[in-house]
Structure 1
């Protein structure tokens, strides 16, 4: 199958591209910067320069494709606003996909997006879901709520550096999923006709609070974690403050997501129907315990090797003074 992957340089998109290539699909990636996407070309993907916010660039990129996998998302550092990228850009992409005669479209939303209309990211995702449902395309909407890869920088790295782990005052359980598992299920969804016109959750085996993740990291790293809590009131103030400046709009919109994290309502759902429909064994899904176990084992082993090499190097050093006879 000829696949166009949008957002292929992102945390999730790159895993989807790699999985699709490994399974023998012809992969084309829409990118804004070929240099930053060079690794995709090395894997075997075709790169096409374009921008979903510039619809005139899309027709030649969509030409000849069998399906579109939309994993793009605005970054806090983007010059354009979240609305311009995640709403206007996605509308452009969906409409141009229709014009190109491509029937199959996979879109990544967020779990429970419809429950938070006052949170910009959630509201935009929900509106995009509705727009896609009314487009006439054979869509599949996948709704993750968090990726395990993001937890490394949030928890593991500060712990190994003996730095404090910052968490909000409230803790909502989140069912994080490994992006490699999401990629596997995504490519599988393309092969199963029953997934057309359907919306599915895309979540891990268990919902974890921040405190539970910290306890797990303490056990695996054998380190006592320093915790720093950020009051929700401070995040709300920062959100209002960053709305004063156009170049911080995206940061403000992301700070609004703190309302979701402080709600106390678990971001989790049953995956039974997903595994049954896709014919995938749920036991193959990576657990957070095994994910962190593998990470800490690999990193701690590397740190020991570095310490050993340093110690070995010091022993080999010769003193500048000759010993007296």
Structure 2
């Protein structure tokens, strides 16, 4: 039992996950529940309730990072905050990713939260020209200066994002958009990110540390597409977008006030299509957390499992269709 600054006593297993319905957030929730944590999920009020979180065993509370007055009540009895939240594409980047995070950090400090885990972007300090990455860098500093006990985790990329971007279009013979840039990204399965995050939560060696989580290998866009082609057993219809077009699009959108956020996201796209490597050595991180590197999912294994499941379903559907036609 750990005493909070207010005099109340909270369990070290009491966790609040912010952004619990997102790609990463839901995996963190599921992993924490599986490991016996009492998980509370902060979600925005929405027409379609996040019932799946309740079905898993989590408690769901309504709150909004853009409305600081909704936050204090959600933190009562919480030991650790795991912040997986990010703004929606239609929102200004600052609304959630800066203003909202500052409000959350201030509230966490006032409420005596014992640990704050924040997800950032690898090499965000090297790209001040990209608004989201600069906001991440500033938030990292704000947390470090807040006096909170924290762990900052920088991420390179999620394997899950590759399904809709490459795996499905290749399988369905649809156009695949890519570039011929040499950018390499060490994608990681969000289930592995969640597993390592919970290890970092429990490990005092990770207190007030910045860690980078990266997959076993960094991949170019062309290498990912080639892997999908091989596993799907068919060629992709690749449409290559020259970097020059992205740069021109960013300059054009800057002329109009209402397109500034689109321009910000295009700036981020330029980074992803430059000669950049989003990867980092993991040996020290694995050692600190006591993790076996061989337990981390490779992209080959992840996509192979996806395609094997999908192709089996397609085969079963075809068999049922043929059987139905036979009996008609």
TM-score w.r.t. length of structure 2: 0.93
Greater Rg by CA = 1
Give the corresponding residue for 1:192. Answer: 203
Gapped regions of structure 1 (runs ≥ 5): 318-325
Relative to structure 1, the CA distance from residue 247 to residue 95 in structure 2 (aligned partners, 3 Å threshold; closer, same or farther) is same
Which position in structure 2 is the counterpart of 1:323?
Answer: none
SS of structure 1 residue aligned to 2:278:
coil
Equivalent residues in 2 for 1:282-301 (5 A)?
Answer: 282-301=293-312
1:17 is matched with: 29
1:141 is matched with 152
Following TM superposition, the consecutive aligned residue runs of length 4 or more in structure 1 with deviations greater than 6 angstroms are none
Instruction: From the superposition, tell whether residues 311 and 56 of structure 1 become closer, same or farther in structure 2 (CA, over 3 Å).
Output: same
**Secondary structure of residue in 2 paired with 1:201:** strand
Aligned partner of residue 277 in structure 2, secondary structure: coil
Q: Which residue of 2 aligns with 1:322?
A: none
Query: Which ranges of structure 2 fall in alignment gaps of 5 or more residues?
Result: 1-12
Q: Following TM superposition, by how much is the alpha carbon of 1:245 offset from its aligned partner in structure 2, in angstroms?
A: 5.4
Using the TM superposition, give the Cα deviation of residue 239 of structure 1 relative to its aligned residue in structure 2, in angstroms.
Answer: 2.8
Displacement of 1:243 after TM fit? 4.3
* 8 A contact 2:254–2:260 mirrored in 1: yes
Q: Tell me the alpha carbon deviations over residues 80-109 of structure 1, each in whole angstroms, 9 at most, x when there is no partner.
A: x11121011100000000000112000000
1:48-76 CA distances to partner (integer Å, 9 max, x unpaired)?
A: 11111111111110111001000101121
- Secondary structure at the aligned position of 1:134 is classed as helix
> What's the TM-score once normalised by structure 1's chain length?
0.94
Greater Cα shift, 59-68 or 163-172: 163-172
CA RMSD after TM alignment: 1.3
For residue 244 of structure 1, report the CA deviation from its aligned partner.
5.2
Question: How far 1:145 moved relative to its partner?
Answer: 1.2
The structure-2 alpha-carbon separation of the partners of 1:85 and 1:226, relative to structure 1 and needing over 3 Å to count, comes to same
Deviations 1:124-168 (A, max 9, x none): 101111111111111100011110000000111101110121012
Matches within 5 A, 1:152-171: 152-171=163-182
Are residues 1:37 and 2:50 paired? Answer: yes
Determine if the alignment matches structure 1 residue 102 to structure 2 residue 110: no
1:33 positional shift:
2.7
Q: Confirm or deny: 8 A CA contact 1:202 1:271 kept in the other structure.
A: yes
* Residue aligning to 1:320: none
Count, aligned residues? 315
CA distance in 2, matches of 1:181, 1:299: 22
